[in-house]
C-alpha cells in the first residue's frame, strides 16, 4: 500500500541541498504505486510533482501537492539483432549505473554521457548531452503514464520534440506525465566520438590510440572530476545554464568587439559557451553569501552551506544582467526551477 507522508523535508533528495518541504510525499517503487498516487491526488485535488535523482532541480521552500520520489528500478534488453540492441531502463534507475551496464556489455552510443547525475527517467526530459553526444542520438522510445488518467502512452523520438537540453516534457507536457521507462538503440560495433572536448587529447597523452569503452569512460570520469564539483562535497546541480545559440551576423559583430570569444558551430547558428561569458563578466569563483559560482567552472552555481532558492536566483539574476549588458546575449537556465 502506498504510504503518503505530510510535510516532508526534501533537503536530502536534491543535490543542491536546498531546504525545501513537500506538502505531501510518497516513494514509488513500482507501477502500481504510481497509479495509487494518481488516484489519491485526484481524490484530494492535489497536483503531482515527480522527483528523480534531484540532480537538475532548484527547489523552493515548500512544494505544494504530492511529491513522488521515483525509486522504480531495473534494466533489460527488449530486442536485439546482429548490429544493435534495444536497451531499456526503468525511470528510477541511476543513469550512471545504466551507462555502466551498457559499457560492460560492449554496447556503444551513450559512453560520452557517463557520470551525468540523475535518473534514466530524467534523461529524455532534459535531452541530456555531453562531449558532442545527446540522448536523442540513440533514443528509440519511452513509455509514460498520464498523471490525470493513469493511462500509458508510448512516445517516439519525434513525439518527444527533442532540442538542445529540451523536450516536450519541459514545456507543453510539463507535469503531465510520469515517465516509466526509456529504451535506447545501442550499437555493437565501435563508433566512438572522441573529437569533442578533451577526451581525444587526454587519451593520446596516456598513449592510448585505439581506446575501448572502459578506457573512454575512465577518461571522462577523470575529466569531469577535475572540472566539476562533487555534489556531496559542494552542493550543485551541474550546468545551471544552456550554452546560448546566436545568428552568424550577431556572432560577427561580437567577434569584432571580442576577438578571443569562444564558439563552436550549431547547425545554422553559432553556440557560445555560457561559462566563457560568465567568466568574462567577472563572476567565476565569486561568492555572494552562501550562493556562489564554482571556481573551476563558471557554468556551475554552488551552495556553500545555507543558500536558499531565493539566494541562488538572486545570483542568477545578477549574472544574466551582467552578461546581457556586456555581450547582448540572454542566458537561459538549464536547471528546472520549482517554486
* Region 5-70: CATH code: 3.30.43.10
111 is catalytic: no
Averaged pLDDT of the chain: 95
Same topology, domains 5-70 and 245-338? Answer is no
Q: Identify the CA nearest to 103 among candidates 223, 215, 222.
A: 215
321, 328 in Cβ contact below 8 A?
no
263 is catalytic: no
211, 192 in Cβ contact below 8 A?
yes
Q: Identify the CA nearest to 51 among candidates 81, 73, 79, 22.
A: 22
Give the per-residue pLDDT at 265: 87
* Choice among 165, 167, 181, 185 that is catalytic: 165
27, 69 in Cβ contact below 8 A?
yes
* Region 75-187: CATH code: 3.30.465.10
Q: Which residues 6+ apart lie within 8 Å of 128 measured at CB?
A: 95, 113, 116, 118, 122, 134, 135, 165
Reported as a single tens digit per residue, the pLDDT across 215-226 is: 999 999 999 988
* Choice among 20, 123, 181, 239 that is catalytic: 239
Reported as a single tens digit per residue, the pLDDT across 97-152 is: 999 999 999 999 999 999 999 999 999 999 999 998 999 999 999 999 999 999 99
Identify the three-state secondary structure at position 185.
Answer: strand
36-68 per-residue burial string, b: 16 or more CB within 10 A, e: under 16? bbbebbeeeebebbbbbbbbbbbbbeebebbbb
Q: Where are the domains of the chain?
A: 5-70, 75-187, 245-338
23 is catalytic: no
211-234 per-residue burial string, b: 16 or more CB within 10 A, e: under 16? bebeebbbbbeebbeeebbebeeb
| Residue 67 pLDDT class (50, 70, 90 cuts) | very high
- pLDDT above 90 as % of the chain: 89
Give how far the C-alpha of residue 65 lies from the chain's centroid of Cα atoms, to the nearest Å: 23
DSSP string, 199-251: HHHHHHHTT-SS--HHHHHHHHHHHHHHHS--TTTS-B-S--BPPPEE-HHHH
Identify any residues that bridge with 291 across adjacent strands, giving them in sequence order: 288, 303
Q: Which residues 6+ apart lie within 8 Å of 43 measured at CB?
A: none
DSSP string, 293-310: E-SS-TT-EEE-SS--HH
Reported as a single tens digit per residue, the pLDDT across 239-289 is: 999 999 999 999 999 999 999 999 988 889 999 999 999 999 999 999 999
* Region 245-338: CATH code: 3.90.78.10
- CA dist 136 and 158 (Å) reads 10
Give the per-residue pLDDT at 191: 85
The residue length of the chain stands at 339
Q: Identify the CA nearest to 114 among candidates 90, 98, 137, 136.
A: 98
Reported as a single tens digit per residue, the pLDDT across 162-190 is: 999 999 999 999 999 999 999 999 999 98
- CA dist 112 and 303 (Å) reads 27
**Is the whole-model pTM more than 0.85?**
yes
Reported as a single tens digit per residue, the pLDDT across 34-57 is: 999 999 999 999 999 999 999 999
Amino acid at each position: 500500500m502506498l504510504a503518503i507522508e505530510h510535510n516532508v523535508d526534501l533537503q536530502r533528495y536534491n543535490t543542491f541541498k536546498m531546504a525545501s518541504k513537500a506538502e505531501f510525499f510518497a516513494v514509488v517503487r513500482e507501477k502500481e504505486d504510481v497509479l495509487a498516487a494518481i488516484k489519491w491526488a485526484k481524490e484530494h485535488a492535489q497536483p503531482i510533482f515527480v522527483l528523480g535523482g534531484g540532480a537538475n532541480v532548484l527547489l523552493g521552500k515548500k512544494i505544494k501537492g504530492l511529491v513522488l520520489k521515483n525509486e522504480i528500478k531495473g534494466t533489460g534488453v527488449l530486442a536485439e539483432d546482429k548490429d544493435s540492441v534495444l536497451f531499456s531502463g526503468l525511470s528510477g534507475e541511476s543513469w550512471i549505473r545504466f551507462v555502466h551496464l551498457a559499457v560492460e556489455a560492449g554496447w556503444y552510443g551513450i559512453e560520452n554521457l557517463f557520470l551525468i547525475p540523475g535518473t534514466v527517467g530524467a534523461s529524455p526530459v532534459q535531452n541530456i548531452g555531453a562531449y558532442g553526444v545527446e540522448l536523442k542520438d540513440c533514443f528509440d522510445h519511452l513509455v509514460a503514464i498520464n498523471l490525470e488518467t493513469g493511462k500509458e502512452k508510448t512516445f517516439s523520438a519525434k513525439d518527444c520534440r527533442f532540442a538542445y537540453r529540451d523536450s516536450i516534457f519541459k514545456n507543453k507536457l510539463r507535469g503531465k506525465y510520469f515517465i516509466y521507462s526509456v529504451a535506447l538503440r545501442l550499437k555493437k560495433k565501435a563508433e566512438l566520438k572522441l573529437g569533442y572536448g578533451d577526451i581525444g587529447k587526454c587519451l593520446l597523452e596516456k598513449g592510448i590510440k585505439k581506446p575501448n569503452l572502459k578506457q573512454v569512460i575512465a577518461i571522462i570520469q577523470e575529466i569531469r572530476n577535475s572540472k566539476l564539483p562533487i555534489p556531496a562535497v559542494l552542493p550543485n546541480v551541474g550546468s545551471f545554464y544552456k550554452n546560448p545559440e546566436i545568428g552568424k551576423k550577431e556572432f560577427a559583430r561580437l567577434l569584432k568587439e571580442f576577438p578571443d570569444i569562444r564558439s563552436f558551430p550549431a547547425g545554422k547558428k553559432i553556440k557560445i559557451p555560457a561559462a566563457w561569458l560568465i567568466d568574462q563578466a567577472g563572476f567565476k569563483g565569486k561568492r555572494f553569501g552562501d550562493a556562489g559560482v564554482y571556481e573551476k567552472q563558471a557554468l556551475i552555481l554552488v551552495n556553500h552551506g545555507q543558500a536558499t532558492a531565493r539566494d541562488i536566483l538572486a545570483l542568477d539574476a545578477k549574472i544574466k544582467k551582467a552578461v546581457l549588458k556586456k555581450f547582448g546575449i540572454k542566458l537561459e537556465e538549464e536547471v528546472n526551477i520549482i517554486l
